[in-house]
Structure 1
């Protein structure tokens, strides 16, 4: 009597393991934050109360922050690819990878287009720049894209965590997204210490996004 064997479908084989892509994406936020804060503490003339972290792209050591933006962006793109594989067919499995994709592209654009130096940094006089350069305008647009996608991604995460019954994580996601939104509004309004408030809102939100990839990596192929 003939027997019939049933084979389960094999897992797809990738040139770059999904685990590696997720780990790269998880490193994007911590890397950008660590390099930015290290420079903010050591660069001559930089004042985090008056100068946004992106202004570190100016001056003789500006290449460090430019590279930081681009490398973090590439890592975020890798994370987007890992999320697309891992979350396919799940709630939020389409939106979250797309947001990470735009997040990465925005970071890369923020490195390519350098913000204008101002207010005493990199040899400039006190006060805002007299005019906005094309590169400076492009950097502001890239920043708006990054902040918008980080806010949206945190809200998408909140929905995923809520459906999974992880109430604390859902609350933290909403707080991170809302904190960045409020910080952005504060900075754009010209309120005191806008740059410091914006950094205080953006860095936690970026770091929290990284936590969404970290637990997925050990389970990925």
Structure 2
């Protein structure tokens, strides 16, 4: 008769697996949005990355693709928001969920309310002399989204610091500042190439931060097979 005690089989925690899966969408969202947007930029006539923000693609002949890009990216952000809400302790979980949720919702609103034509795009369209209601709502959606994402970076950065991840905390706070300043500069100088560049900086920084923070949180989340 064997006297060796059998090792217990590892258990699988479905809740932990769901949390990790939700955080994984935060890693995917940014690259997905940028790849789809840049692919359109290469083929849409008259679109110039140095002159136009990706949101203007909503007005082009393939505007439905950019609208779908915004909506699908927004869904991924909402999934990531839920993942952070499941992982972070109270009250940070509530703030993270609400702020990232607002950012995801702002992407839906941006798709619903296209911007006004600008700087010769779409081809043949006259530039708007006064902002339309749709253009104003698009700008408001962007303002709410970028500010919400920046504050989320501050909140989640504070959690990283509490968990001893000081590098991630500092990077999150720097990203928050770049996002806000980039958007403000881009909005103020929207008629110039410098303004477009600042807006690009805000967009890329925001998506890069979300991907890095989601990946770090994914790795910090408890494993489901234990």
Q: How would you bin the TM-score normalised by the shorter chain?
A: 0.7 to 0.9
Whole-angstrom distance in 1 between the partners of 2:117 and 2:72 = 22
Runs of 4+ in 1 over 3 A off after TM superposition: 10-14, 215-221
Equivalent residue runs for 1:1-221 within 5 Å: 17-89=18-90, 92-125=92-125, 128-190=127-189, 192-217=193-218, 219=222, 221=224
Whole-angstrom distance in 2 between the partners of 1:125 and 1:137 = 18
Mean Cα deviation higher: 19-28 or 143-152:
19-28
TM-score, normalisation: structure 2: 0.82
1:12, distance to aligned residue in structure 2 (A): 8.4
Please say if residues 143 and 183 of structure 2, whose CA atoms lie closer than 8 Å, have aligned partners that are also in contact.
Answer: no
Q: How far does the alpha carbon of each residue in 1:83-138 deviate from its partner, in whole angstroms, 9 at most, with x for none? A: 2122243x622211111111111111111111122221112457x41232222211
Whole-angstrom distance in 2 between the partners of 1:158 and 1:59 = 38
CA-based RMSD of the aligned residues comes to 2.4
**Residue in 1 that maps onto 2:3:** none
Please say if residues 117 and 125 of structure 2, whose CA atoms lie closer than 8 Å, have aligned partners that are also in contact.
Answer: no
TM-score, normalisation: structure 1: 0.83
Which stretches in structure 1 are left out of the alignment for 5+ residues?
1-9
1:11, distance to aligned residue in structure 2 (A): 9.7
Mean Cα deviation higher: 72-81 or 187-196:
187-196
Which SS does the other structure have where 2:142 is aligned? helix
CA separation of 1:61 and 1:125: change in aligned 2, threshold 3 A = closer
Please say if residues 71 and 108 of structure 2, whose CA atoms lie closer than 8 Å, have aligned partners that are also in contact.
Answer: yes
Please say if residues 153 and 209 of structure 1, whose CA atoms lie closer than 8 Å, have aligned partners that are also in contact.
Answer: no
Which SS does the other structure have where 1:131 is aligned? coil
1:164, distance to aligned residue in structure 2 (A): 2.2
Whole-angstrom distance in 2 between the partners of 1:18 and 1:161 = 17
CA separation of 1:220 and 1:153: change in aligned 2, threshold 3 A = farther
1:192, distance to aligned residue in structure 2 (A): 4.5
Please say if residues 45 and 123 of structure 2, whose CA atoms lie closer than 8 Å, have aligned partners that are also in contact.
Answer: no
Whole-angstrom distance in 2 between the partners of 1:115 and 1:220 = 44
CA separation of 1:220 and 1:71: change in aligned 2, threshold 3 A = farther
The alignment covers a number of residue pairs equal to: 209
